[in-house]
Amino acid sequence: MPAIRARGGCRTAAALTATVVLLLVGCAPSGAPENESDAPAQPTALGEAPGAGIQLFQLPWTSIAAECEQTLGPAGFSWLLTSPPNEHIRGAEWWTSYQPVSYQLESRLGSRAEFAEMVQRCGAVGVDVIADAVINHMTGQDLPGTGVAGSAHEHYSYPGLYGPDDFHHCGLTGDDDIHDYGSREQVQTCELVNLADLDTASAPVRDRIGAYLDDLLSLGVAGFRIDAAKHIAADDVAAIVAELPEGTRILNEVIRGAGEPIEPEEYTESGQVFEFSYARDLVQPLRSGVWTDPELSDPRPLHVASDDAVVFVDNHDTERGEAKVTAKMAGLYLLANVLLLGDDYGTPVVYSGYTFSDRDAGAPADAEGRVLPAECPPVVENGVVPTDDGARTCIQSWPAIGGMLAFREVVGDAPRLPGIEEGDAYAFEREARGVVAVNAGHAAETVTIPTGLPDGEYCDVVSGGREARTDGGCQGAAFTVDGGEAVFELDGRTAAAIHLESRR
Ligand code: AAO
Q: What is the pLDDT of residues 67-78, one digit of tens each?
A: 999 999 999 999
For residue 495, list its beta bridge partners: 438
User: Are 298 and 305 contacting, i.e. CB atoms less than 8 angstroms apart?
Assistant: yes
Q: How many other CB atoms are there within 10 angstroms of residue 359's CB atom?
A: 11
How far is Cα 446 from Cα 464, in angstroms, rounded to an integer?
Answer: 20
At 276, which helix (H) or strand (E)?
helix 276-288
For 17-59, what is each residue's pLDDT tens digit? 332 332 233 222 232 333 334 445 555 557 999 999 999 999 9
**CB of residue 321 inside a 6 A radius of ligand 1:** yes
Torsion of CA 400, 402, 404, 405, to 10 degrees: 160
For residue 133, is it left (φ>0), alpha (ψ between -120 and 50) or beta? beta
Type of residue at 48: E
What stretch of H or E contains 81? strand 79-81
Nearest CA to ligand 1 atom 48: 255
Which among 402, 391, 410 has a CA at the least distance from the CA of 463? 402
In one letter, which amino acid is 18? Answer: A
- Is the shortest distance between the CB of 195 and ligand 1 below 6 Å? yes
Three-state DSSP state, 433:
coil
Q: Is 471 a catalytic residue?
A: no
Choice among 181-185, 326-330, 412-416 with the minimum mean pLDDT: 326-330
Q: Annotated catalytic residue: which of 227, 266, 308, 343?
A: 227
Please name the residue whose Cα sits nearest to atom 14 of ligand 1: 95
Q: Can you tell me which atom of ligand 1 is nearest the CA of 258?
A: 63
pTM of the model: 0.92
8 A C-beta contact, residue 421 and residue 35? no
Contact, 497 vs 488, CB < 8 A?
no
Please tell me the distance between residue 137's alpha carbon and the centre of ligand 1 in angstroms.
Answer: 13
Ligand 1 atom with the shortest distance to the CA of 93: 22
What pLDDT digit, counting tens, does each position of 449-491 carry? 999 999 999 999 999 999 999 998 999 999 889 999 998 999 9
- Residue 328 class from Cβ within 10 Å (0-12 exposed, 13-18 middle, 19+ buried)? middle
* Measured distance CA(126)–CA(354) in Å, rounded: 25
Percent of the residues in the chain that have a pLDDT greater than 70, as a whole number: 91
Which of 183, 193, 260, 262 gets mutated to test ligand 1 (max ligand atoms within 8 A of its CB)? 193
Q: How far apart are CA 388 and CA 391, in angstroms?
A: 6
For residue 401, give the nearest of 57, 59, 71 by alpha carbon.
71
Q: Does residue 5 surpass a pLDDT of 50?
A: no
Q: What pLDDT does 33 receive?
A: 32
Nearest to 167 by CA among 208, 213, 216, 107: 208
**Structural contact between residues 333 and 376, judged by C-beta atoms closer than 8 angstroms:** no
Is residue 504 scored above 90 in pLDDT?
A: yes
Task: Tell me the pLDDT tens digit for each residue of 268-312.
Answer: 999 999 999 999 999 999 999 999 999 988 999 999 999 999 999
Is residue 455 part of the annotated active site? The answer reads no
350: left (phi over 0), alpha (psi -120 to 50) or beta: beta
